[in-house]
């Protein structure tokens, strides 16, 4: 698309990410916590087995990060205020944020919003638009006015670039990475800096002599396909070049399954207790699938033994069901398919639902 005979307008994707979202919601409820190192995780008790859900910027300065054992986080930051997770409060705040984003117009036109989770979303105009920075600032101001929460916005020619750019702009900022600036911004960074590449993949790439984004972009895609796989190898090569063809999808996410899990404060050695826990978790998961209005077609379990050995098992039901007794019995049946030679640290039950009308 061109305007007045000029060059084509760029298509922009924006990524909105709430700054320290969970911690920020807690500070709104308890203003006296502003500026203090704040950790949210589990039931707020660092003597229990739980992990950090989020840490405020002040706590992060002590080396505290999401996913860290709560006990370790408390040792790293003894001065921290530790609060329990309050999912309903975060869901309510997120709903307001996403409604605010969906209500925005870019130069008078609506935008598509793809929700990624409680605290982040992609946005894109349906037609090319100018001045994405001004629209990014509009988004930041609108979210702040509606929720009193701050966010950062990344801008790119695609979702990959926008997602990565957001981290450059944090906190409370706007940053842009484009096709033209990709290698200037990313070329010398390690492959782990790419959205979609974790520690294990980075290690596999390093074994091929690929350590940086530029090296990945300049690598032989045939070697990547042979060593990593015919699908993933070329995909990683595209990531290295900053290429992402996926579109911003405004359709609401339709879950395929719901699951519940529990980390036991003391390892369970009595398998009668493990079986009862499986039934309890199945009942809780049934409430989730009932809210979707679709019965379960498959049941799965996850068992983590002491110290961290994890096994999974699953089965297809003779017919779909949302009967807690039937699904609990299926979970117990699956427990009979694992070795019972060590204590159980964690148990999870997953219910995979029938497809919605029209499919996924």
Residue 329: helix, strand or coil by DSSP?
helix
Block residue for tokens 């709430």: 18
pLDDT exceeds 60 at position 284: yes
Q: What is the mean pLDDT of the chain?
A: 94
pLDDT surpasses 90 at 298: yes
Q: What is the pLDDT of residues 76-134, one digit of tens each?
A: 999 999 999 999 999 999 999 999 999 999 999 999 999 999 999 999 998 889 899 99
What span, in angstroms and rounded, lies between the C-alpha atoms of 279 and 275?
6
Q: Residue 4 pLDDT more than 80?
A: no
With 70 as the cut, is the pLDDT of residue 8 above it?
Answer: no
For the stretch 329-345, pLDDT in tens is 999 999 999 999 999 99
Burial of 203 (0-12, 13-18, 19+ CB in 10 A): exposed
Tens digits of residue pLDDT in 175-189 = 999 999 999 999 999
Measured N-to-C along each axis, helices 132-147 and 87-102 cross at an angle, to the nearest 10 degrees, of: 140
DSSP state letter for 190: B
The predicted model scores a pTM of 0.86
Structure tokens at 28: 């709104």
Q: What is the pLDDT of residue 5?
A: 42
Question: What does R_g of the chain's alpha carbons equal in angstroms?
Answer: 23
Which residue's structure tokens are 């605010």? 100
Question: What pLDDT shows up at residue 10?
Answer: 64
Q: Rounded CA gap, 110 and 353, in Å?
A: 33
* DSSP for 136-155, written as a single string: HHHHHHHHHHHHS--EEEEE
Whether 275 is catalytic: no
pLDDT of residue 6 exceeding 50: no
Q: Rounded CA gap, 309 and 290, in Å? A: 32
Residues 84 and 40 sit within 8 Å (Cβ to Cβ): yes
| Cβ-count burial 130-167 (b if 16+ within 10 Å, e if not) | eebeebbeebbebbeeebebbbbbbbbbbbbbbbbbbe
Question: Per residue in 313-333, is it b (16+ CB within 10 Å) or e — as a string?
Answer: beeebeeebbebebbbbbbbe
d(CA 190, CA 215): 9
The active-site residue, picked from 58, 114, 120, 352, is 120
Cα separation, 129 vs 13, whole angstroms: 10
**CA–CA dist 359, 222 (Å, integer):** 35
Q: Strand 105-106 vs strand 109-117: parallel, antiparallel, or unpaired?
A: antiparallel
Supply the pLDDT for residue 308. Answer: 86
């Amino acid at each position: 698309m061109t305007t007045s005979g000029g060059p084509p307008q760029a298509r922009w994707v924006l990524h909105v990410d709430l700054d320290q979202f969970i911690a920020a919601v807690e500070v709104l409820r308890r203003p006296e916590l502003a500026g203090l190192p704040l950790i949210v995780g589990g039931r707020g008790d660092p003597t229990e087995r739980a992990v950090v859900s989020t840490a405020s910027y002040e706590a992060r300065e002590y080396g505290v990060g999401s996913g860290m054992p709560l006990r370790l986080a408390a040792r790293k930051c003894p001065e921290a205020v530790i609060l329990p997770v309050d999912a309903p409060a975060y869901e309510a705040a997120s709903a307001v944020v996403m409604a605010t984003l969906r209500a925005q117009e870019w130069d008078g036109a609506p935008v598509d919003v793809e929700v990624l989770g409680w605290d982040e979303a992609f946005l894109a105009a349906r037609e090319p638009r100018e001045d994405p920075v001004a629209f990014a600032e509009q988004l930041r101001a609108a979210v702040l006015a509606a929720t009193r929460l701050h966010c950062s916005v990344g801008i790119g020619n695609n979702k990959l670039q926008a997602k990565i750019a957001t981290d450059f702009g944090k906190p409370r900022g706007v940053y842009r990475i484009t096709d033209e600036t990709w290698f200037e911004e990313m070329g010398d960074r390690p492959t782990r800096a790419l959205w979609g590449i974790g520690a294990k993949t980075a290690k596999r790439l390093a074994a091929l002599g690929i350590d940086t984004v530029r090296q990945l972009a300049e690598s032989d895609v045939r070697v990547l396909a042979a060593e990593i796989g015919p699908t993933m190898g070329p995909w990683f090569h595209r990531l290295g070049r900053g290429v992402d063809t996926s579109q911003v999808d405004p359709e609401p996410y339709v879950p395929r399954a719901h699951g519940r899990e529990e980390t036991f404060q003391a390892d369970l050695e009595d398998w009668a207790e493990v079986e009862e826990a499986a039934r309890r978790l199945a009942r809780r998961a049934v409430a989730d699938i009932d809210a979707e209005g679709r019965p379960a077609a498959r049941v799965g379990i996850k068992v983590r033994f002491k110290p961290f050995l994890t096994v999974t098992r699953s089965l297809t039901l003779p017919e779909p069901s949302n009967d807690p007794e039937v699904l609990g019995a299926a979970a117990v049946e699956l427990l009979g398919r694992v070795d019972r030679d060590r204590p159980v640290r964690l148990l999870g039950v997953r219910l995979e639902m029938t497809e919605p009308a029209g499919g996924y």
